Amino acid sequence: EAQVTQNPRYLITVTGKKLTVTCSQNMNHEYMSWYRQDPGLGLRQIYYSMNVEVTDKGDVPEGYKVSRKEKRNFPLILESPSPNQTSLYFCASSGSGGNIQYFGAGTRLSVL
Amino acid sequence: GQNIDQPTEMTATEGAIVQINCTYQTSGFNGLFWYQQHAGEAPTFLSYNVLDGLEEKGRFSSFLSRSKGYSYLLLKELQMKDSASYLCAVRDLRGNAGKSTFGDGTTLTVKP
Protein backbone atom coordinates (compact mmCIF):
# COMPACT_ATOMS: atom_id res chain seq x y z
CA GLU A 1 0.00 0.00 0.00
CA ALA A 2 1.34 3.44 -1.02
CA GLN A 3 1.81 5.53 2.07
CA VAL A 4 3.72 8.13 4.03
CA THR A 5 4.63 6.93 7.51
CA GLN A 6 5.48 9.23 10.39
CA ASN A 7 6.75 8.22 13.81
CA PRO A 8 5.97 8.78 16.54
CA ARG A 9 2.30 9.74 16.29
CA TYR A 10 2.32 11.38 19.70
CA LEU A 11 5.22 12.76 21.69
CA ILE A 12 5.51 14.67 24.94
CA THR A 13 8.97 16.01 25.74
CA VAL A 14 10.72 18.69 27.75
CA THR A 15 12.44 21.87 26.67
CA GLY A 16 15.92 21.33 25.29
CA LYS A 17 15.80 17.56 24.79
CA LYS A 18 16.73 16.77 21.20
CA LEU A 19 14.21 14.77 19.24
CA THR A 20 13.71 13.39 15.75
CA VAL A 21 10.43 12.74 13.97
CA THR A 22 10.87 10.23 11.18
CA CYS A 23 9.10 10.26 7.84
CA SER A 24 9.27 7.53 5.24
CA GLN A 25 7.48 7.08 1.91
CA ASN A 26 7.29 3.99 -0.29
CA MET A 27 6.21 5.68 -3.53
CA ASN A 28 9.69 6.58 -4.85
CA HIS A 29 8.74 10.25 -4.66
CA GLU A 30 11.37 12.91 -5.28
CA TYR A 31 9.66 15.69 -3.32
CA MET A 32 9.15 15.62 0.45
CA SER A 33 8.09 18.33 2.83
CA TRP A 34 7.39 19.06 6.50
CA TYR A 35 4.54 21.23 7.77
CA ARG A 36 3.27 22.34 11.10
CA GLN A 37 -0.38 23.05 11.74
CA ASP A 38 -1.57 25.36 14.48
CA PRO A 39 -5.09 26.60 15.24
CA GLY A 40 -5.83 29.75 13.27
CA LEU A 41 -2.55 29.58 11.36
CA GLY A 42 -3.20 26.75 8.95
CA LEU A 43 -0.48 24.55 7.49
CA ARG A 44 2.91 26.23 7.36
CA GLN A 45 5.84 24.75 5.48
CA ILE A 46 8.98 24.16 7.54
CA TYR A 47 11.42 22.57 5.07
CA TYR A 48 11.15 20.78 1.77
CA SER A 49 13.38 18.61 -0.36
CA MET A 50 13.29 18.31 -4.12
CA ASN A 51 15.53 15.22 -4.13
CA VAL A 52 18.33 13.43 -2.27
CA GLU A 53 20.77 15.89 -0.70
CA VAL A 54 18.65 18.85 -1.86
CA THR A 55 16.77 20.69 0.89
CA ASP A 56 15.45 24.21 1.26
CA LYS A 57 13.72 26.36 3.83
CA GLY A 58 9.99 26.87 3.88
CA ASP A 59 8.21 29.67 5.70
CA VAL A 60 9.04 28.68 9.30
CA PRO A 61 12.41 26.87 9.40
CA GLU A 62 13.78 28.37 12.64
CA GLY A 63 14.50 25.75 15.28
CA TYR A 64 14.31 22.81 12.87
CA LYS A 65 16.74 20.78 10.81
CA VAL A 66 16.19 18.18 8.11
CA SER A 67 18.27 15.77 6.09
CA ARG A 68 17.66 13.80 2.90
CA LYS A 69 20.32 11.12 2.67
CA GLU A 70 17.99 8.61 1.03
CA LYS A 71 15.05 9.15 -1.26
CA ARG A 72 12.50 7.48 1.00
CA ASN A 73 13.38 9.19 4.31
CA PHE A 74 13.10 12.80 5.42
CA PRO A 75 13.54 13.15 9.19
CA LEU A 76 12.70 16.35 11.06
CA ILE A 77 15.13 17.20 13.84
CA LEU A 78 14.51 19.54 16.75
CA GLU A 79 17.92 20.10 18.34
CA SER A 80 16.60 22.04 21.32
CA PRO A 81 12.80 21.98 21.40
CA SER A 82 10.94 24.88 22.96
CA PRO A 83 7.27 25.20 24.00
CA ASN A 84 6.46 27.28 20.92
CA GLN A 85 7.19 24.18 18.84
CA THR A 86 4.22 22.42 20.37
CA SER A 87 2.15 21.65 17.31
CA LEU A 88 0.74 19.06 14.92
CA TYR A 89 3.34 18.09 12.33
CA PHE A 90 2.71 16.58 8.92
CA CYS A 91 5.14 15.07 6.48
CA ALA A 92 4.17 14.93 2.80
CA SER A 93 5.60 13.58 -0.43
CA SER A 94 4.87 13.98 -4.12
CA GLY A 95 6.19 12.72 -7.41
CA SER A 96 8.25 14.46 -10.05
CA GLY A 97 7.21 18.11 -10.33
CA GLY A 98 5.95 18.18 -6.77
CA ASN A 99 2.30 18.27 -7.57
CA ILE A 100 -0.23 16.25 -5.56
CA GLN A 101 1.04 15.83 -2.03
CA TYR A 102 0.36 12.72 0.03
CA PHE A 103 0.38 13.34 3.74
CA GLY A 104 1.39 11.20 6.67
CA ALA A 105 -1.03 10.74 9.57
CA GLY A 106 0.61 13.47 11.62
CA THR A 107 2.70 13.76 14.78
CA ARG A 108 1.27 15.62 17.73
CA LEU A 109 4.16 17.10 19.69
CA SER A 110 3.97 18.74 23.10
CA VAL A 111 7.03 20.48 24.50
CA LEU A 112 6.76 21.22 28.22
CA GLY B 1 5.89 35.56 -1.32
CA GLN B 2 2.38 34.21 -1.30
CA ASN B 3 -0.81 35.32 0.40
CA ILE B 4 -3.91 33.14 0.37
CA ASP B 5 -7.36 34.11 1.60
CA GLN B 6 -10.37 31.91 2.09
CA PRO B 7 -13.41 32.20 4.37
CA THR B 8 -12.98 30.79 7.85
CA GLU B 9 -16.31 29.04 8.15
CA MET B 10 -19.30 28.08 6.03
CA THR B 11 -22.52 26.23 6.72
CA ALA B 12 -24.72 24.44 4.20
CA THR B 13 -27.57 21.97 4.11
CA GLU B 14 -27.38 18.33 3.11
CA GLY B 15 -28.14 17.92 -0.59
CA ALA B 16 -27.31 21.54 -1.42
CA ILE B 17 -24.43 23.07 -3.38
CA VAL B 18 -21.69 25.13 -1.75
CA GLN B 19 -18.89 27.22 -3.25
CA ILE B 20 -15.70 27.90 -1.31
CA ASN B 21 -13.66 30.78 -2.67
CA CYS B 22 -9.92 31.28 -2.53
CA THR B 23 -7.90 34.31 -3.61
CA TYR B 24 -4.14 34.32 -3.80
CA GLN B 25 -1.16 36.50 -4.59
CA THR B 26 2.02 34.81 -5.69
CA SER B 27 5.30 35.71 -7.35
CA GLY B 28 5.66 32.43 -9.27
CA PHE B 29 2.44 30.49 -9.75
CA ASN B 30 2.76 26.80 -10.52
CA GLY B 31 -0.62 25.33 -9.67
CA LEU B 32 -3.48 25.58 -7.21
CA PHE B 33 -4.63 22.65 -5.12
CA TRP B 34 -7.60 21.87 -2.93
CA TYR B 35 -7.31 19.46 -0.03
CA GLN B 36 -9.91 18.11 2.38
CA GLN B 37 -9.05 17.62 6.03
CA HIS B 38 -11.34 15.96 8.53
CA ALA B 39 -10.79 16.86 12.17
CA GLY B 40 -7.73 15.12 13.59
CA GLU B 41 -6.75 13.60 10.27
CA ALA B 42 -4.27 14.31 7.49
CA PRO B 43 -5.19 16.44 4.47
CA THR B 44 -6.18 14.49 1.36
CA PHE B 45 -5.99 15.73 -2.21
CA LEU B 46 -9.21 16.80 -3.92
CA SER B 47 -8.42 18.84 -7.00
CA TYR B 48 -5.68 20.59 -8.97
CA ASN B 49 -5.73 23.47 -11.46
CA VAL B 50 -2.78 24.85 -13.36
CA LEU B 51 -4.63 26.33 -16.36
CA ASP B 52 -7.68 28.58 -16.34
CA GLY B 53 -11.04 26.88 -16.30
CA LEU B 54 -13.07 24.26 -14.56
CA GLU B 55 -11.91 20.81 -13.48
CA GLU B 56 -14.70 18.40 -12.61
CA LYS B 57 -14.36 15.29 -10.52
CA GLY B 58 -17.62 13.70 -9.50
CA ARG B 59 -19.38 15.87 -6.91
CA PHE B 60 -16.37 18.18 -6.68
CA SER B 61 -15.28 20.83 -9.18
CA SER B 62 -12.59 23.46 -9.00
CA PHE B 63 -12.22 26.62 -11.03
CA LEU B 64 -9.17 28.79 -11.63
CA SER B 65 -8.63 32.29 -13.03
CA ARG B 66 -4.91 33.08 -13.01
CA SER B 67 -5.39 36.68 -14.13
CA LYS B 68 -7.66 37.33 -11.14
CA GLY B 69 -5.73 35.20 -8.67
CA TYR B 70 -8.97 33.41 -7.88
CA SER B 71 -10.19 29.87 -7.45
CA TYR B 72 -13.26 28.18 -6.07
CA LEU B 73 -14.17 24.69 -5.00
CA LEU B 74 -17.72 23.63 -5.74
CA LEU B 75 -19.29 20.78 -3.81
CA LYS B 76 -22.58 19.41 -5.10
CA GLU B 77 -25.16 17.13 -3.48
CA LEU B 78 -23.66 17.77 -0.09
CA GLN B 79 -23.44 14.86 2.31
CA MET B 80 -22.91 14.90 6.06
CA LYS B 81 -19.46 13.36 5.55
CA ASP B 82 -18.43 16.49 3.60
CA SER B 83 -18.22 18.34 6.92
CA ALA B 84 -14.49 19.08 7.05
CA SER B 85 -11.90 21.77 6.53
CA TYR B 86 -11.05 22.64 2.92
CA LEU B 87 -7.57 23.93 2.27
CA CYS B 88 -6.54 25.99 -0.73
CA ALA B 89 -2.82 25.72 -1.56
CA VAL B 90 -0.58 27.35 -4.12
CA ARG B 91 2.67 25.97 -5.54
CA ASP B 92 5.36 28.49 -6.22
CA LEU B 93 8.14 27.55 -8.61
CA ARG B 94 11.12 29.84 -8.35
CA GLY B 95 14.32 28.61 -9.91
CA ASN B 96 14.57 24.91 -9.18
CA ALA B 97 12.77 25.10 -5.89
CA GLY B 98 9.17 24.20 -5.14
CA LYS B 99 7.45 25.88 -2.26
CA SER B 100 3.89 25.29 -1.12
CA THR B 101 1.71 27.76 0.75
CA PHE B 102 -1.62 26.79 2.29
CA GLY B 103 -4.53 28.98 3.22
CA ASP B 104 -5.86 28.74 6.76
CA GLY B 105 -8.71 26.52 5.59
CA THR B 106 -12.48 26.84 5.42
CA THR B 107 -14.42 24.79 7.94
CA LEU B 108 -17.58 23.53 6.28
CA THR B 109 -20.45 22.30 8.42
CA VAL B 110 -23.17 20.34 6.64
CA LYS B 111 -26.48 20.29 8.48
CA PRO B 112 -29.36 17.85 7.96
Contact B87 A104 (CB under 8 A): no
Q: How confident is the model at residue A87 (pLDDT cuts 50, 70, 90)?
A: very high
8 Å CB contact between A26 and A20? no
**CB-nearest partner of B91 from A41, A98, A103:** A98
Residue B41, classed as helix, strand or coil, is coil
Mean pLDDT value across residues B77-88: 97
The pLDDT, as a whole number, for residue A74 is 98
State pLDDT tens for residues A37-82. 998 888 999 999 988 999 999 889 999 999 999 999 999 999 999 9
Q: Nearest CA to CA, how far is A57 from chain B (Å)? A: 9
Contact A106 B42 (CB under 8 A): yes
Mean pLDDT value across residues B39-62: 93
10 Å CB burial of residue B9 (0-12, 13-18, 19+) is exposed
Instruction: Say which residue, A59 or B13, is predicted with more confidence.
Output: B13
pLDDT at A108 > cutoff 80: yes
Contact B97 A45 (CB under 8 A): no
Choose among B96, B98, B27: nearest CA to A48.
B98
Q: How confident is the model at residue B96 (pLDDT cuts 50, 70, 90)?
A: very low
The pLDDT, as a whole number, for residue A97 is 60
Mean pLDDT value across residues A75-102: 91
8 Å CB contact between A51 and B97? no
Q: How confident is the model at residue B94 (pLDDT cuts 50, 70, 90)?
A: low
CA A33 from centroid of its chain's CA atoms: 6
